[in-house]
Amino acid sequence: MGIVNVTPDSFYGASRVREEQAVLKCVERILSEGAGIIDVGGYSTRPSADFVSTEEEIKRVSRALESICREFPDLIISVDTFRSQVASEVLKHYPVAIINDVSGGSLDERMFETMASTKAAYVLMHMRGTPQNMQEKTRYEDVVVEVLQDLQQKLVNLRALGVHDVIVDPGFGFAKTLEQNYLLLKELAVFRELEAPILVGISRKSMIQKLLNVNADEALNGTTAAHMLALAGGASILRVHDVKEAVQAVKIYTQTYQA
């Protein structure tokens, strides 16, 4: 899953694209490097991110989708949003296949109902709080158990509503400390118990930057190492900034363990 950020403030500057030609060039590159899905986001969810109104988010995402769908009609598109209104609008007007909700329904009580009214797949991610305060909510007795239980209960709720095409995401970097992130990565295989595909989004994140004492621009090598661990733990989808390198990691992993 290749990242397309139509925002001015996402944490990795090279991923930000806003003008139409820049968006299309970004998507073309992502596809040429081997991505199967693109994930379009109009609201940065980095720690302490600026607030963006629902109207502005819809405007940003719709403008990008208009161009993308015209030029790449067969593309599998995911939209990164935690707002049911944004999800409803894009699903109504564009062939969006996936809604990627970083809050797992916790920031909009209508999200699950919205998903139940569509045929789109849903990424259920674990997070506490909001992008503005989530790093103040990192107290767990057992982070792996609590994240697993939270996702499990929400899966039950979604399936009761008739939403069965669900992808789970432990939420690396969202209301987790450095140590908690690596414990989740170490124990990722536990999430196979949920019997749902696992999405992992760790590309160039602070868990890599802080451990290696590098910035986002220097975090590709660490990202690739973490991706290999995620694949070994059962990840089905890698959400990435660097598609070419991630595809290479997948090929090496597959050749080694699944040939």
Which residue out of 205, 210, 244, 251 is catalytically annotated?
A: 205
Asked if residues 134 and 128 have their Cβ atoms less than 8 Å apart, the reply is: yes
205 tagged catalytic:
yes
Asked if residues 234 and 194 have their Cβ atoms less than 8 Å apart, the reply is: no
Asked if residues 223 and 173 have their Cβ atoms less than 8 Å apart, the reply is: no
Which residue out of 139, 239, 244, 251 is catalytically annotated?
A: 239
The partner residues of 77 in beta bridges, in order of sequence, read 38
| Helices marked H in 5-93 | 20-32, 54-71, 84-93
Phi, psi of 199 (to 5 degrees): -100, 135
Q: How far is CA 46 from the centre of its chain?
A: 12
210 tagged catalytic:
no
Which amino acid, one-letter code, is at 155?
L
Asked if residues 38 and 75 have their Cβ atoms less than 8 Å apart, the reply is: yes
Supply the residues annotated as catalytic.
Answer: 205, 239
